[in-house]
Amino acid sequence: MKVIATIRKEFLLLTRDPGGMAVIFLMPLALVIVMCLIQDNTFRGWQETRMEVLLVDEDHGALSASLERTFQNSPNIRLIRKSGSEPLTAEAAYRLVRSGTYGTAVIIPKGADAGLRDNTKRAVTRLLAHYGFVDEKYNEKALPPVELQILFDPAIKANYKQTLSSAVEKMLIRVQADGFMDEVQKHLSKATQKNKIDVDFSQMITVNAQDASGGDRQGIALNAVQHNVPAWSMFATFFILFPLAGNFIKEREEGSMLRLRLISGSQFPVIGGKFSFYLFVCLLQLAMMIGVGLFVMPLLGLDRLILGTNYIGVLLTGLSVAMAATGYGLLIAVYFKTPQQALSFGAISVVILAAVGGVWVPVFIMPEIMQSISPYSPLNWGLNAFNHLFLRNVSTAAVLPELCKLISFAFATLAASILIHKSRTVT
Amino acid sequence: MTDSPIITVSGLSKIYKGSQKPAVDQLSFVVHEKEIFGLLGPNGAGKSTTIMMLCGLLKIDSGSIQVFGLDVRQKSPEIRKLIGVAPQEIALFPALTAYENLFYFGRMYGLDGATIRRRANELLEAFGLIEKAGVQVIQFSGGMKRRLNLIAALLHHPRLLILDEPTSGVDVHSRKMILDYLLALKSNGVTVIYSSHLLEEAEKICSHFTIIDEGRLIQEGNLADLLARSGGSRNLEEVFLGLTGKEICH
């Protein structure tokens, strides 16, 4: 009954504190939404981000047409061919990229197509002549290579540069292969008086890329919503220490805690009641933020949060995270003597635990040293469990190690809180 | 005839960490049943420290305290069940109503809902706060808060009531109500330890006085004894000034 009375008292105190309610419910919602919107592009990467590329075509040959076709077939690239009403020049493109107006420019120099054809013809003739298939003269001296130029804004991300360069090189290999085959067929056709045939190199070998997860999980990737909703929800949940520690220390300073100390009996109902109430609040926070991931994010043009099918696992993970967050908040509340100490230490420590745990950026892109520290953060345990459940749709048993760590952390902090509170009852 | 002693304090001392000077120094006194015992002294005399040790919330460095025959060092949980304490601070939740505060503290005393309701109504009525039962404490005047602070200490029918500056900063109306109630409690067999620096008020209600300064006992007895020993003082305030040489901070 004493625990229930404390829960009821905490409920009344919170519902009469609009500022506290805003900190608990509105701020986390705003945080999750803002972080998802901000990080959306970062998570989408080059494949999903639309990019404007300047194309300076000084050649107007088949090579230009092929490159243009490649870029046009990519939904993520928009080609810009003109500066105002004038066709782009190499100088203008250099100026525009250097100023940061555009990220990239591709320059096809005059004579590029002819140069590529000459190089291919020479290579094929030399090859066939070497084996005695043709008796044609060719230039012994190698021709200079055709040089396409790609200009990048120095501020552009390295993976964008790499991906765009790879796309151009891939296209050039295909053009070279087509040119090579065309030149070979020209010689063979002449020798055998037979017509050329179409040879499609693109269908000789294909790559079948798929996620190593269940059949119904294909295409579910770590996007801004999948990462940020659980990550920032947990971050906000750990910030429960603000109202929890704030109220606890206020009660101590105002004297109501003194009266509770003057009342005989165990201090467990006081601590246990607070723990139970704030645990429920944390669960409510998590449920609300998952609801935002499911229903609000799609309205903002973001991906919908995919929960997987193991709802029991999600519930247990939410409960474990809420327990760990409440336990930590309670320990901060009990240990520190002033709100300034508690809230400063609490806030900074949660930010550090979140950063280390992979809330800000996923652990796999952290430096090695941080990756080795990361497994010690409770937020990392929670995030791993959520990722396992959401992205890999695993069973509850698979996330049990993470849940055990979270629950152990919660009990350790709760026990420490009770001991510290009890030790301070008699000073 | 003197009633039996319910509190015996012997050679009590306390030095706070980091302090050279004792807050309480070899203090000894006895509180008898059914009396209003005035624990008086200027600010910083050691009254609150003594009360905290009586309640078992502060460790005793040396000496002993027996309350209802139980040693505070060993039996403070049992002792706390028998006593009610109204601390100097307003030990209430400001955002809760008077009734919600009493209901919560009643539950923490282990009382059932019906008992809390009956007792809360009875006490709120007695202290003129029944009309304000549903009002948040934050909206109360200083006097109303003091009255409610006292009510919260009385919920579980304590045999011993310890009051630390119970009328500090209250209006005349609230003061009269509190003092009248304390006299009524005395006649009902409740022992009261009344700690205050308001000597005129103490003079009206206390049957025994212990005056302490700098943690030490400097005089004790009933008013007649104190006046007789002081050599010409007309009231408690003059006795106090003669003994401590200090002004009272009102």
Q: Please list, in sequence order, all residues whose beta carbon lies within 8 angstroms of the beta carbon of residue A271, skipping any fewer than 6 positions away.
A: A330, A334, A414, A417, A418, A421
Q: Please list, in sequence order, all residues whose beta carbon lies within 8 angstroms of the beta carbon of residue A45, skipping any fewer than 6 positions away.
A: A159
Pick the CATH number of A50-203 from 1.20.1290.10, 3.40.190.10, 3.90.226.10, 2.40.50.140: 3.40.190.10
Q: Does A13 touch chain B if contact means CB atoms closer than 8 Å?
A: yes
Looking up tokens 């999948």 gives: A226
Which comes out higher in pLDDT, residue A168 or A6? A6
Contact B194, B39 (CB under 8 A): yes
Asked whether the predicted pLDDT for residue B249 surpasses 60, the reply is no
The whole-number pLDDT of residue B236 equals 79
Within 8 A of B93 by CB-CB distance, chain A residues are: 9, 13, 251, 254, 256
DSSP β-ladder status, B5-14 and B62-67: antiparallel
CATH 3.40.190.10 location in chain A: 50-203
Structure tokens at A356: 């280390």
pLDDT in tens, A384-426: 999 888 887 888 999 999 999 999 999 999 999 888 887 776 5
Instruction: Give the range among A120-124, A233-237, B224-228, B238-242 with minimum mean pLDDT.
Output: B238-242
pLDDT in tens, A168-185: 888 888 888 888 888 888
Q: What is the ipTM of this complex?
A: 0.85
Asked whether the predicted pLDDT for residue A136 surpasses 50, the reply is yes
The whole-number pLDDT of residue A405 equals 96
Asked if A263 lies within 8 A of B105 by C-beta distance, the reply is yes
Instruction: Please choose, from the candidates A95, A212, A76, the residue with its C-alpha nearest in 3D space to the C-alpha of residue A151.
Output: A95
pTM, two decimal places: 0.75
Asked whether the predicted pLDDT for residue B30 surpasses 50, the reply is yes
Q: At what angle do helices A268-291 and A311-335 cross, to 10 degrees?
A: 130
Q: How confident is residue A218, by pLDDT bands cut at 50, 70 and 90?
A: low
In whole angstroms, give the CA distance from residue A244 to residue A238.
Answer: 10
pLDDT in tens, B4-22: 789 999 999 999 988 888 9
Within 8 A of B55 by CB-CB distance, chain A residues are: 262
Q: How confident is residue B250, by pLDDT bands cut at 50, 70 and 90?
A: very low
In whole angstroms, give the CA distance from residue A246 to residue A347.
Answer: 12
Within 8 A of B58 by CB-CB distance, chain A residues are: 426-427
Asked whether the predicted pLDDT for residue A373 surpasses 60, the reply is yes
Within 8 A of A260 by CB-CB distance, chain B residues are: 108
In whole angstroms, give the CA distance from residue A30 to residue A9.
Answer: 28
Asked if B105 lies within 8 A of A264 by C-beta distance, the reply is no
The whole-number pLDDT of residue B1 equals 47
Q: Choosing among A8, A9, A337, which should be mutated to test the B contact, i.e. which has the most B CBs within 10 A? A: A9
In whole angstroms, give the CA distance from residue B98 to residue B24.
Answer: 35
Contact A67, A77 (CB under 8 A): no
Cβ-based interface (< 8 Å): residues of B facing A? 55-59, 76-81, 85, 87, 89-96, 100, 103-105, 107-110, 136, 152
Instruction: Please choose, from the candidates A37, A35, A28, A34, the residue with its C-alpha nearest in 3D space to the C-alpha of residue A283.
Output: A28
Q: Say which of B76, B107, B136 has its CB closest to residue A5.
A: B107
Q: Say which of A16, A259, A262 has its CB closest to residue B95.
A: A16
